[in-house]
Amino acid sequence: MGEQDTIPTWEPGVKQLAPNVYAYIQSRATWFWNNAGFIVGAEYVIVIDSLATVGLTEEFRDEIRNITDKPVRYLINTHHHGDHIWANHVFSGATIISHSYCRREATETPMMDPGLLNAVFTEFDFGGIAVTPADITFDSRLTLHVDGREVRLIHLGPGHTAGDLLVHLPEEGIVFPGDLIFLYSTPLGMEGSFAGWLKNLDTVAAMDSRIYVPGHGPVCDVEGLNQCRDYLLLVLREAKERYGKGMTPDEAARDIPLGPFRQWPDRERILANVERLWREFRGEDPTTSKLDLAEVFMRMAAMAQAGEL
């Protein structure tokens, strides 16, 4: 069986999920290709996440304009990663909402150099990216009331990052979980908590929704959530065993059999995941015990290039 045989293809673009609720889906689920969404109310639009570059986000904004000319009043950031926030300013005039940790990370961590990003990720143009932090932050829950319906923003504790929020539309049975769900895209846990992420996915599954819009990958039902959960469980279990044997993260990353997830793109993320897990096993807090991301990125890239995984 070929490498790609278990990775389906899917239709990119705007996908209507329910009356006035849309996902914006990328055809790829590799580095910097992330999904977004929007909700059209009677008077205004709520957007969920911007994209990695100004150009991609302008295309997204134009797609929204094809459906409605109502103004974007709120822009929700599911977490602080650049692919979800760096082009917030394309929605100028929108009030930005995030978890308080997301805002803190966005403002306190120096932004990656666009020139360097252009050199490494040559398919993108990172010119003009900027950090536009949230105007409104919260720590646990915040509910927007839109035409009598609830749009619930919920933080479940550290998961993919320490400041994730998910958007839950209880009446429609739809969840925008941000990067709490990666599907056909290797989950990246370098800044959060694996134990927390798994617990959070159980909480999301218990919301009994029909539709999930992963941060990366195609729209799915609970089966997609479970696939992401299976990756996290596998990595947690296999890493723990190797941590117990005294392996280094590099040794463990090369040694862990990824099974079916070997075919998901960017499998070198296992290294960042194992680096995080070694800290988690030592009982370190992800908000204070951080990885040197640039250094880990270089090692991941070297590992991928050398075909070591």
**Among 219, 225, 205, 218, which Cα is nearest to 18's?**
219
The amino acid occupying position 177 is P
**Neighbour-count burial for 227-254, b at 16+ CB within 10 Å, e otherwise:** bbbebbebbbebbeebbeeebebeebbe
Q: Which is nearer to Zn ion, 172 or 179 (CB)?
A: 179
> How far, in Å, are 28, 155, 200, 249, 308 from residue 304 at the CA level?
18, 33, 30, 15, 6
Closest approach of Zn ion to the CB of residue 19, in Å: 29
Q: Which is nearer to Zn ion, 81 or 168 (CB)?
A: 81
**Among 148, 147, 134, 152, which Cα is nearest to 94's?**
134
What values do phi and psi take at 3, rounded to 5? -55, -35
Show the tokens assigned to 55.
Answer: 């150009």
Closest approach of Zn ion to the CB of residue 245, in Å: 30
Helix 194-206 × helix 269-281 angle, to 10°: 100
Closest approach of Zn ion to the CB of residue 263, in Å: 21
Listed ranges 39-47, 76-84, 193-201, 273-281: which one lies at the site for Zn ion (CB under 5 A): 76-84
Show the tokens assigned to 203.
Answer: 């909480």
Q: Which is nearer to Zn ion, 52 or 219 (CB)?
A: 52
Question: What is the three-class DSSP state of 196?
Answer: helix
Q: Which is nearer to Zn ion, 172 or 268 (CB)?
A: 268
Contact predicate 234/258, CB 8 Å: yes
Q: State which of positions 167-196 bind Zn ion (CB under 5 A).
A: 179
Q: Which is nearer to Zn ion, 179 or 266 (CB)?
A: 179
Q: Which of 15, 61, 80, 81 binds Zn ion (CB under 5 A)?
A: 81
Q: Which is nearer to Zn ion, 40 or 129 (CB)?
A: 129
Closest approach of Zn ion to the CB of residue 179, in Å: 4
Closest approach of Zn ion to the CB of residue 187, in Å: 9
Q: State which of positions 130-149 bind Zn ion (CB under 5 A).
A: none
Closest approach of Zn ion to the CB of residue 160, in Å: 6
Q: Which is nearer to Zn ion, 21 or 102 (CB)?
A: 102
Closest approach of Zn ion to the CB of residue 83, in Å: 7
Q: Which is nearer to Zn ion, 31 or 278 (CB)?
A: 31
The amino acid occupying position 296 is V
Q: Which is nearer to Zn ion, 105 or 179 (CB)?
A: 179
Strand order in the sheet with 174-182: 141-146, 149-154, 166-169, 174-182, 211-216
- Contact between 216 and Zn ion per CB under 5 A: no
Task: Kindly determine how many residues on this chain lie close enough to bind Zn ion according to the rule CB under 5 A.
Answer: 2
Half-sphere exposure (Cβ direction) of 43: Cα atoms closer than 13 Å: 6
The Cα–Cα gap between 59 and 65 comes to 10
Listed ranges 51-59, 80-88, 235-243, 281-289: which one lies at the site for Zn ion (CB under 5 A): 80-88
The Cα–Cα gap between 158 and 135 comes to 22
Closest approach of Zn ion to the CB of residue 51, in Å: 12
Q: Which positions touch Zn ion (CB under 5 A)? A: 81, 179
